[in-house]
Amino acid sequence: MNDRKNVSMAVGFVLAVSLIAASLTAVLCWRYYSRVQFRMLGEVCREILQQQPEAEGAVAAALRTCSTQVQNSETGPRTEPDESAQTKFGQSAICSGEDFLMAYGYQEGDFLWAGRSGQVPGMIGFLAGAALFLVTLQAGRRREAARIQSLTEYLENVNTGGKGLLVPEEDAFSGLQDEIYKTVTALYQTRDAALRTRDNFAENLSNIAHQIKTPITSLSLSVHMLKDHPSPAHLEQISQQLSRLTRLEEALLLLSRIEAGTLPLAAEQVDVFTLLTLAGDNLQELFRKAQISLHILEAGEVAIKADLEWTMEAVMNLMKNCLEHTPPGGRVSCAYEQNPLYTQIRIWDSGSGFSREDLPRLFERFYRGAGSGGIGIGLSLAKEIIQRQNGTISARNLAEGGACFEIHMYSH
């Protein structure tokens, strides 16, 4: 439908301009032809009189007869030639043909059939073309006004919270419509992101309050019990809860720095075997107390571009998660390999693996799966650190049993 309107308007403008041009051309051609004919007739009469002065009367009579016939074919009054002009033929031998006839009262249209009325079709064509042009222009303006009104209504609907629909059209407003649609889409996305951020903030605040409430309650109870019954056990309980609050505070501050982009992560060549060995050494005491062994399979020299300290922090969190879900006498293993696309690091245990309900939510902040005694930040923190270094992290259950974490550090 829009294509038809565009074609109709284009055809209307072309026809109007063509009609105007043709009418003006016809009028100009008529004027030129009339002048040329008038000049040639004057030249002929002048030459005849120069050669035969005695033919003056015959020439004057012929001119008067021709002019009278042309006048009779026209409607409306015409200018009569000067009767006394007949005596001037002999005195006008030096004039041009045009001046020769004009000196005796004749005009250009006196000897041209259709005379001045020959301009009437041209004027009619000009007026018709002008009218067609104005009609087409007015139709174009009405269409522009309708397009502006539709865009205005769309924006008003958006401002009131609605979701209007823009019908794509190919016209002068197509570029503006595209930009408006892009802007509105970006605003919708920004609003949705702001709503998600608000909801996440509220949820995180609730989770933080819940995480703090448990140790504070335990601390209050231990202090109360310590007042009534002083005991080293109560002091140990207080110390444990304070340590838990400290870890929670450090983890939250670290997450906030990562999300704000203020945590500096160096990009240096790090040997993977060294990375896993250092992470295991830091957890050696925990593995000893849990009676669980740690095995790191060496696969030669493989390097990744990462920050050693923070990547080691992420790996330690994965090792601790495997440690917490592995029974005494079990084992936590690490292996790595490299291909042209990425370097893969695997950390798995000999425990019972993840439950089906826990797998989709393992890396959610403050989510604690079955049997977890942590604060629910370690895995989400590991994911943030790995992703900030052009990597991905995932979790799955092994076919032979046990949980497995996989890290892919991409080369490009």
Q: How far is Cα 145 from Cα 110, in angstroms, rounded to an integer? A: 52
What's the pLDDT at 88?
Answer: 47
**Residue 226: Cβ-neighbour burial (10 angstroms; 0-12, 13-18, 19+):** middle
- For residue 3, the tally of other CB atoms under 10 A from its CB is 9
Of 198-207, 278-287, 306-315, 353-362, the one with minimum mean pLDDT is: 198-207
Range of the domain at 380: 268-410
Instruction: Say whether both 250 and 273 belong to one domain.
Output: no
- Candidates 257, 287, 16; CA nearest to 128 is 16
Instruction: Say whether both 64 and 21 belong to one domain.
Output: yes
pLDDT tens per residue across span 97-124: 556 677 666 766 666 655 555 566 767 7
What's the pLDDT at 77?
Answer: 47
Q: How far is Cα 404 from Cα 370, in angstroms, rounded to an integer? A: 16
Q: How far is Cα 126 from Cα 123, in angstroms, rounded to an integer? A: 5
Instruction: Say whether both 9 and 121 belong to one domain.
Output: yes
Instruction: Say whether both 201 and 294 belong to one domain.
Output: no
Q: What is the CATH number of the domain that holds 214?
A: 1.10.287
Residue 306's beta-bridge partner residues? 268
Instruction: Say whether both 239 and 286 belong to one domain.
Output: no
Dihedral sign of CA atoms 8, 12, 15, 17 in order: negative
Q: How far is Cα 167 from Cα 332, in angstroms, rounded to an integer? A: 60
Average pLDDT score over the chain:
77
**Angle at CA 282, nearest 5°, toward 276 and 284?**
95
pLDDT tens per residue across span 118-177: 566 767 777 777 777 777 777 777 777 777 777 787 777 777 776 666 666 666 667 777
Last residue of a domain, one of 102, 131, 160: 131
Does residue 175 fall inside a structural domain?
no
Does residue 144 fall inside a structural domain?
no
- Max avg pLDDT among 17-26, 30-39, 130-139, 346-355: 346-355
Dihedral sign of CA atoms 29, 30, 32, 36 in order: positive
Of 160-174, 182-196, 321-335, 374-388, the one with minimum mean pLDDT is: 160-174
C-beta pairs of 65-73 under 8 Å, 24+ apart in sequence: 66/111, 67/106, 67/110, 67/111, 70/109, 70/110, 70/111, 70/112, 70/113, 70/115, 71/110, 73/113, 73/114, 73/115
Work out the pLDDT band at 93, boundaries 50, 70, 90.
very low
What's the pLDDT at 391?
Answer: 94
Instruction: Say whether both 272 and 256 belong to one domain.
Output: no
Number of domains in the chain: 3
Instruction: Say whether both 32 and 109 belong to one domain.
Output: yes
Instruction: Say whether both 278 and 403 belong to one domain.
Output: yes
Q: How far is Cα 20 from Cα 36, in angstroms, rounded to an integer? A: 24
pLDDT tens per residue across span 252-276: 777 777 777 777 888 899 999 999 9
What's the pLDDT at 3?
Answer: 58
What's the pLDDT at 208?
Answer: 66
- 371 pLDDT higher than 70: no
**Residue with the two structure tokens 């002065």:** 53
Does residue 158 fall inside a structural domain?
no
Last residue of a domain, one of 131, 157, 172: 131
Three-class SS state of 282: helix
Instruction: Say whether both 297 and 239 belong to one domain.
Output: no
What's the pLDDT at 267?
Answer: 87
- Give the global pTM: 0.52
Of 109-118, 208-217, 370-379, the one with minimum mean pLDDT is: 109-118
